[in-house]
Amino acid sequence: MAKKRPQTKAAKAQLKDGPVPVVGAREPCPCDSGRRYKACHGRAAAHAVTELVQRPFEGLAGECDWVALRELVPAATAELTLKDGLPEGVPSVTLATVLPMAWPALRRDDGSVLLALQNDTSSGDLSRDLADTLRRALASEPGRPVAAHRVPADGPRLQDLLDPSAPFTPVVHPGFEFWVPDAENSSAEVTASLERANAAAIPTALLSGTDAAYWCETPEKNHLRWVMPHPEEKLLDALARLHAAGTSSLGEGTRLVGSFRAHGLTVPVWDLPSAMGAEECEKPAAEFAERLATALADESPLTGDERRARGGLTNRQVTLS
């Protein structure tokens, strides 16, 4: 049998100050440790890229609406305000739920930028992926889409680029006509693409009297999906108190059926009668918000009925992200 080579102890890293350059995974690490990059400094870099950020939109204005536009709303836009102002030649930056051909971003002929929110991403930090796409879109030539690529682990995040004091105001659209400036005079190909996209979109509306509560219409029944900023455990306790007391519904024929988990936030979901539109939800939702605020302030232990109600709500949770 061949003799095994004696294992030599890897030399200690020589680079102690400054960043270690990125090289090929199988190349020697630039820190002179004697190991390949993927087994040395590349391991930490790969972990930084793939590590999941539970609340990627935390710290942004309108975090709940960011989550809703990412996971729940088919067609919507929101104007974005950059910390350092708009670059020369860029009249506006607009967040969009989705863009044609699943483009990550688009620089229009007039220089304006559309940034898509519902695309697949290459890392575990959605905020960093979107920030990288936004920066590339701002620097791209007008009239061209931005392609997807792997995002560096040390790049900026949306929180570094966007003005946290600027309002985030989503506009929900009935269809995807916002894709093109002049949809009525578009080509037959573009018109057909819009018709297909519009046919697949679920009618959705944002309630005006509450934050991040979205009504939607489906063939069998309607729903209200409400993204809430409260800590999950505290919110489930409050919902359980209301559920056990028979006050968790939004009126006759409605029912709190469970919740989603999405990007670190909880999204309670109600079934609604088909005849109950978005306008009919406004008053019951506002009244529910008052009941919920009272329940959130209650720090007493849950009763037996409330614990059972909480268990039922927990069992009906679905994780979206």
pLDDT digits (tens, 9 = 90+) for 274-304: 999 999 999 999 999 999 999 999 999 999 9
Q: What's the one-letter identity of residue 123?
A: S
pLDDT for position 190: 74
Question: Whole-angstrom Cα distance, residue 233 to residue 261?
Answer: 12
What is the biggest distance separating any 2 CA atoms in the chain, rounded to whole angstroms? Answer: 83
Instruction: List beta partners, residue 277.
Output: none
pLDDT for position 41: 63
**Count of residues making up the chain:** 321
Question: Whole-angstrom Cα distance, residue 155 to residue 160?
Answer: 10
Q: What is the CA radius of gyration of the chain?
A: 24
Question: Whole-angstrom Cα distance, residue 163 to residue 280?
Answer: 35
Closest alpha carbon to 123 in 148, 93, 101: 148
DSSP 8-state symbol, 142: T
Instruction: List beta partners, residue 205.
Output: 215
Cβ–Cβ under 8 Å, residues 106 and 99: yes
Question: Whole-angstrom Cα distance, residue 129 to residue 124?
Answer: 9
CA distances (Å), 259 to each of 206, 228, 266, 310, 314, in order? 18, 11, 7, 12, 8
Closest alpha carbon to 237 in 288, 321, 308, 290: 308
Q: Tell me the torsion sign for CA atoms 73, 49, 128, 142.
A: negative
| Tens digit of each residue's pLDDT (9 = 90 or more) over 300-310 | 999 999 999 99
Cβ–Cβ under 8 Å, residues 161 and 68: no
**pLDDT tens over the chain, length 321 residues:** 444 444 444 444 445 455 566 666 677 888 878 787 667 766 655 544 568 899 999 999 999 999 999 999 999 999 999 999 999 999 999 999 999 888 999 999 999 999 999 998 878 999 999 999 999 999 999 999 999 888 888 899 999 999 999 999 999 999 999 998 876 767 787 788 888 889 989 999 999 999 999 999 998 899 999 999 999 999 999 999 999 999 999 999 999 999 999 999 999 999 999 999 999 999 999 999 999 999 999 999 999 999 999 999 999 999 997
pLDDT for position 25: 62
**Tokens representing residue 5 in the block:** 């080579």
Tracing tokens 């960043």 back to the chain, one arrives at 19
Question: Whole-angstrom Cα distance, residue 43 to residue 245?
Answer: 52
Cβ–Cβ under 8 Å, residues 123 and 83: no
Task: Kindly give the residue spans of alpha helices, DSSP state H, lying in the chain.
Answer: 41-50, 63-71, 126-139, 158-161, 188-200, 232-244, 278-297, 304-315
pLDDT for position 120: 87
